[in-house]
Chains A and B, each alone.
Chain A
Amino acid sequence: MDGFGSDFSAGGSGGKMDTGTIMEQVKVQIAVANAQELLQRMTDKCFKKCIGKPGSTLDNSEQKCIAMCMDRYMDAWNTVSRTYNSRLQRERARM
């Protein structure tokens, strides 16, 4: 991915980049960063839960465990997000 640096420097040398384009690109970058963060933490957690002794292949039961673990991790992420969000709402209402 060579978008970030080159696109921004292009704004300085050539024509000025408009604000809308910058905002769109930043949004994409943020989404990518968040997906990577989730992927990394999920891989960590599910490896830990599902791979007891690493064998010569990722066997069937390990694959099943990883698939379930991924779904549960997403559930947990959504529950945490929902809970945190409603907590913020409550605290904002108290102020």
Chain B
Amino acid sequence: MDGQGATADPRLQQFIEVESQKQRFQQLVHQMTEVCWEKCIDKPGPKMDSRSEMCLVNCVERFIDTSQFILNRLEQTQRSRGSISETMSD
């Protein structure tokens, strides 16, 4: 009972929501940095050149596009083929 009082604290609840969202952002930044580093950085030089910088920007944009495209397409195929369980068991 006492433990539940802590989680029901609205200030704490809001804090957890905000921090979770920040953490999802951070996590994706870590992940995309890793993926785009592989794609864009050949040999690390004394300065970040503008070509690598541009590549990183495009890489992030296209990564997000890809993720949204996949999500949309999955939703579409799901809708036209019925429930997800049917599609998965096919």
Contacts and interface: CB of A to CB of B under 8 A. Distances in A.
Interface of A: 11-12, 16-17, 19, 22-23, 26-27, 30, 34, 37-38, 41, 45-46, 49, 65, 68-69, 71-73, 75-77, 79-81, 83-85, 87-88
A87 B53 CA distance: 16
A34 B23 CA distance: 9
A83 B57 contact: yes
Nearest to B23: A30
A85 B23 CA distance: 13
18 contacts: A12-B3, A22-B6, A26-B19, A30-B19, A37-B30, A41-B34, A49-B44, A72-B41, A72-B44, A75-B48, A77-B29, A79-B56, A79-B57, A80-B29, A80-B33, A83-B57, A85-B25, A87-B64
B87 interface: no
Interface in B61-80: 61, 64
Contacts of B6: 11, 16-17, 19, 22
